Structure 1
């Protein structure tokens, strides 16, 4: 269990617990059930970083550093996937040409705009969340976004012949997905309850809407490139993280 968690942590973040971090595809595939737990770890780091930044800067400045930290923790892995995915699905004329665009190391206009749009949503949302509400959002958003990655990959066909995502896409086990779903939703609901954030509404709305968005994004990607890719999995992580923050702001604005 610990080995699988460490494998997931080392793949999804900059942290290296073991010096010898070489793992095979089977080990990577088995670690996927722990992706949401890595999200919670990232959330805990962001909460404490937020408290430290707020001692030095006003909220509008500290939130910039908070977003930068979240990108650095993940080595910009997911945000790179977002840019590549949007460039691909917005360009090309068939599956092969779109996949070629996604593989291109150069970033296009659509990719740049997608990064700016997602980061802007995160920044504006963080500027409108305070105290307990912000803490709850920072803890749960990374977890839900990694849970969305599992949903995206479950039972999916891989869109390429090779690539980083080949070890993951289509290899999520039903038992692992169910266990991760129960724990992710349960822990997030507990966090929301602890911070007195409209428990029933948020706890029910966020996983449902994150799942719905993931299903729609997966359908769109499969239609455009013929399958799920590692880039599209990274993209769904960034977009659902922004969506979770947006839902916190939207649902709490009625209070």
Structure 2
């Protein structure tokens, strides 16, 4: 029992320390088992950020701040709260996929850490979608929509369990993502996404939108993440830490876009 508690403690510290700016004690041991558990716990690990984002969104609605401005502030808070780690991955993946059809050249471009034209364009498009969709959601649902924005923050991290699914290869042997590659069992990945869909359904229903719009938005996010992972495997030979980050940001955007559409139709 004590050993298992130690594993969970290390996994939790790894998840929180990697995915947020919150200061936690470093894990005693970092191995593939702990890394896999950390990725399963990722939606819970970012709960403090989700609460902060929800409070910011709620305050903006109460103060009658313009929806787009609110969306941009929310996006900014999340960028600060994650050290822009996922945004860096999104930019690097876009640059790598557009740099060359040669695998090694693409991986080399992604490793430079600088943002080229494709990376900048990806950031503008995805962040723009996140901000605009957040504003649209809050305009449709009011203050209760703030909770949905917070839930979307957590739900988007379900993408990490799919990126780290056992059987998905890694593109390189080194790098931040190498320890996490293939570390999550399929049954846990399925469970994470089912729970994400259920929580999203409850949140959007409470906000006044048909409950099924939540699972639908999560399903669309799952499809988007699958496409990114498949593309990475075909072009790069596998996933990297940059692919993880890109999938989180894309999943967040898709969930946020999906729910306001449902609100408008409902």
In the aligned structure 1, how far is the partner of 2:150 from the partner of 2:238? 31
- Are residues 1:251 and 2:262 paired? yes
The 3 A distance-change label for structure 1 pair 111 and 48 is same
Query: RMSD of aligned C-alpha atoms?
Result: 2.1
Q: Deviation at 1:173?
A: 1.9
In the aligned structure 2, how far is the partner of 1:179 from the partner of 1:5? 18
TM-score under structure 1 normalisation? 0.90
2:62–2:143 Cα contact (<8 Å) kept: no
Task: Pick one of 30, 38, 45 that aligns with 1:38.
Answer: 45
Size of the alignment, in residue pairs? 253
The 3 A distance-change label for structure 1 pair 204 and 187 is closer
Larger RCO, structure (CA 8 Å, separation 6 or more): 1
2:40–2:189 Cα contact (<8 Å) kept: yes
The C-alpha deviation readout for 1:106-146, integer Å capped at 9, x for no partner, is 21000011001111111211221221563243122222211
SS of equivalent residue, structure 1 residue 199: coil
2:17–2:23 Cα contact (<8 Å) kept: yes
2:92–2:110 Cα contact (<8 Å) kept: yes
Task: Pick one of 160, 173, 183 that aligns with 2:172.
Answer: 160
Task: Pick one of 121, 124, 140 that aligns with 1:116.
Answer: 124
In the aligned structure 2, how far is the partner of 1:204 from the partner of 1:166? 31
- Which sections of structure 2, spanning at least 5 residues, go unmatched? none
SS of equivalent residue, structure 1 residue 165: coil
2:133–2:256 Cα contact (<8 Å) kept: yes
Task: Pick one of 31, 38, 45 that aligns with 1:25.
Answer: 31
In the aligned structure 1, how far is the partner of 2:120 from the partner of 2:30? 33
- Give the structure 2 partner of residue 48 of structure 1: 55
Task: Pick one of 11, 16, 26 that aligns with 2:23.
Answer: 16
In the aligned structure 1, how far is the partner of 2:264 from the partner of 2:62? 26
- Give the structure 1 partner of residue 198 of structure 2: 186
TM-score under structure 2 normalisation? 0.87
93-102 or 203-212, which deviates more? 203-212
In the aligned structure 2, how far is the partner of 1:101 from the partner of 1:36? 30
SS of equivalent residue, structure 2 residue 23: coil
The 3 A distance-change label for structure 1 pair 212 and 64 is closer
- Are residues 1:206 and 2:217 paired? yes
In the aligned structure 2, how far is the partner of 1:140 from the partner of 1:54? 17
The 3 A distance-change label for structure 1 pair 83 and 245 is same
Task: Pick one of 225, 229, 235 that aligns with 2:246.
Answer: 235
- Give the structure 2 partner of residue 76 of structure 1: 84
